[in-house]
Amino acid sequence: MQLLHDIFFTLLLTIRDVIPILAILLGFQLLVLKRPIPNLKRTITGFIYVLLGLGLFLVGLDKALFPLGKLMAQQLTNPEFIQQGLHSVSGILQWQDYLWVYLFAAAIGFATTVAEPSLIAVAIKAQAVSGGAISTWGLRLAVAVGVSLGIALGTFRIVTGTPLHFYIVAGYIVIIIQTMFAPRLIIALAYDSGGVTTSTVTVPLVTALGLGLASTVPGRSALIDGFGLIAFASLFPMITVMGYAQIVQWREKRAGSQHGKDKIENDS
């Protein structure tokens, strides 16, 4: 009964969040473009699926993933747990002692990104538009690797307390250099993949990890040092997606097979 209540309540919240979007779409379609909605019945069914799907998805995350994930983030960052595997004799925690935290950050970053619905949406679109040159899984894995690297480095930053903007500016420089060499076809998509990764599944867990870490590492403030993980998670996918395209291009060049290259050039 509690479950049904939760589902119903979350569904109402989802509808409330989607209503402004729906109002804008309908308002412009009917009043400005003065056109009927194409395939009205199918579109309405689609919207109902989206609302219902998102509602169930959120309730499920709240029931299954978030409590456990947040608990694990707390336990892994707990000084008592870290003390167990201590390397230094002095009893003062060094950045190396947080190895499990970095590994957890990398693993959970990868796993939540694979399940991120908005990334799936962009990947489906990219595959359709590129005529299959960019596969949904290739893109999603490239982005997931990026988020994984980004969040691991972000937790390292919180532990060491180095300023956030050094990392971000360094990341920007790498992106600008990559932009000069990456295939033109991929650039806009790579930039987009930074923003889509951090959504429904990733943000709550990563935020819990950041706040947990910042509140237990000595000398860090949860309010100031706890932020910044999302920024890492949005930055690194751009690097890995362009990197993925560069590797594909390089391998095709090396193999000397004109076939794949022609395909990309024909599409652009």
Which positions from 8 to 47 touch other proteins by CB under 8 A, shown as an x/- string?
-----x--xxx-xx-xxx--xx--xx-x-xxx--xxxxxx
From 161, 147, 172, select the one nearest 229 (Cα to Cα).
147
Query: Alpha-carbon distance 238 to 186, whole Å?
Result: 10
Min dist CB 125 to other proteins, Å, is 5
Contact by Cβ (8 Å): 85, 100? yes
Token readout for 34 is 């003065």
Q: Does 91 bind other proteins (CB under 8 A)?
A: no
Q: Which stretch binds other proteins (CB under 8 A): 86-94, 99-107, 245-253, 255-263?
A: 99-107
From the number of C-beta atoms within 10 Å of its C-beta (0-12, 13-18, 19+), residue 266 rates as exposed
**Count of positions on this chain that bind other proteins (CB under 8 A):** 107
- Tell the smallest beta-carbon distance from residue 159 to other proteins (Å): 15
Residue 177 within binding range of other proteins, rule CB under 8 A: no
Shortest CB 247 distance to other proteins, Å: 19
**198 is an interface residue for other proteins by CB under 8 A:** yes
Cβ(255)–Cβ(244) below 8 Å: no
Q: In terms of CB distance, is 82 or 89 closer to other proteins?
A: 82
Rounded CA separation 106/99 (Å): 11
Single out the segment in contact with other proteins by CB under 8 A; choices: 52-60, 86-94, 248-256.
Answer: 52-60
CB of 66 to other proteins, least distance (A): 9
Is the distance from CB of 101 to CB of 154 less than 8 angstroms? no
Task: State CA 251 to chain mean position distance.
Answer: 27
**Residues 132-161 contacting other proteins, CB under 8 A:** none
- Name the segment binding other proteins (CB under 8 A); options: 71-79, 89-97, 244-252, 253-261: 71-79
What binding mask, one character per residue, do residues 102-131 give for other proteins by CB under 8 A, x or -?
--x--xx-xxx-xx-xx-xxx-xxx--xx-
Structure tokens at 45: 């069914």
| Contact indicator for 206, 230 with CB cutoff of 8 Å | yes
